[in-house]
């Protein structure tokens, strides 16, 4: 370039730009031919066709589909058979030993929770959910109404 072009910010015309690219590509091709064996196919950038000395064939690949047998979390498969203790707490209270010793058959212990208030579901001693008590085939059960968020569980670890 001339000093005039270096001092001024001049925009190249498309023809000038194309000429620069052509000369750069020719220079690169000639240096590549001299230094390499030519094992890569030559590509003509203007016609987007590949000139190759070897014959190529189309490859048909099967479409990938998720396996029905695969777990959505394969990295967790090894922990799925670990037993956990689940317990449900309907309420708590504090009592003096004197009052505990006065209890007899038919006595009622008043809890801090109100009737209809959600019960707490613990997994290995950690609060994980809340729910309501239901009866299923003459057995008690718990219908989960709320899962304790990860942030709340982390906050409870400190207390």
User: What is the rounded distance in angstroms from the CA atom of residue 159 to the CA atom of residue 148?
Assistant: 16
- DSSP bridge pairs for 22: none
Claim to verify: residue 154 and residue 81 sit in the same structural domain: yes
Claim to verify: residue 43 and residue 89 sit in the same structural domain: no
Predicted confidence (pLDDT) per residue in 14-47, tens digit: 788 788 888 888 887 776 665 555 455 555 555 5
Claim to verify: residue 87 and residue 142 sit in the same structural domain: yes
Tokens 């030993």: give the residue: 97
At residue 8, the pLDDT reads 47
At residue 54, the pLDDT reads 65
| Residue 46 covered by a domain | yes
Using the predicted structure, report yes or no on whether residue 71 has a pLDDT greater than 80: no
How many domains, the chain? 2
Domain of 107 in residue numbering reads as: 76-158
CA 30 to chain centre: 49
Label residue 51 by pLDDT band (50, 70, 90): low
At residue 67, the pLDDT reads 62
> What string of DSSP letters covers the chain?
--HHHHHS--PPPHHHHHHHHHHHHHHHHHHHHHHS---SPEEETTTTEEE-SS-------PPP---SSS-S-GGGGGGTT----EEEE-------HHHHHT--TT--PPPSSPTTPPEEEEETTEEEEEEEEEEETTEEEEEEEEEPPHHHHHHHHH-
| Residue 141 covered by a domain | yes
Claim to verify: residue 120 and residue 154 sit in the same structural domain: yes
| Residue 68 covered by a domain | no
CATH number at residue 120: 2.30.330.10
Predicted confidence (pLDDT) per residue in 110-155, tens digit: 999 888 899 999 999 899 999 999 999 999 999 999 999 888 888 8
Q: Are 129 and 86 in contact (CB under 8 A)?
A: no
């Amino acid at each position: 370039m001339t000093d005039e072009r270096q001092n001024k910010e001049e925009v190249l015309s498309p023809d000038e730009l194309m000429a620069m690219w052509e000369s750069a590509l020719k220079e690169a091709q000639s240096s590549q031919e001299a230094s390499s064996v030519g094992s890569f196919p030559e590509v003509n950038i203007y016609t987007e066709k590949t000139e190759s000395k070897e014959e190529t064939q189309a490859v048909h690949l099967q479409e990938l589909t998720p396996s029905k047998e695969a777990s959505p979390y394969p990295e967790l498969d090894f922990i799925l058979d670990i037993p956990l203790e689940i317990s449900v707490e309907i309420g708590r209270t504090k009592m003096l030993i004197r009052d505990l010793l006065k209890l007899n058959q038919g006595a009622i212990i008043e809890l801090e929770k109100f009737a209809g208030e959600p019960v707490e579901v613990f997994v290995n001693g950690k609060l994980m959910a809340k729910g309501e008590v239901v009866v299923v085939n003459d057995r008690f059960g718990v219908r989960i109404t709320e899962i304790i968020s990860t942030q709340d569980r982390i906050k409870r670890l400190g207390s």
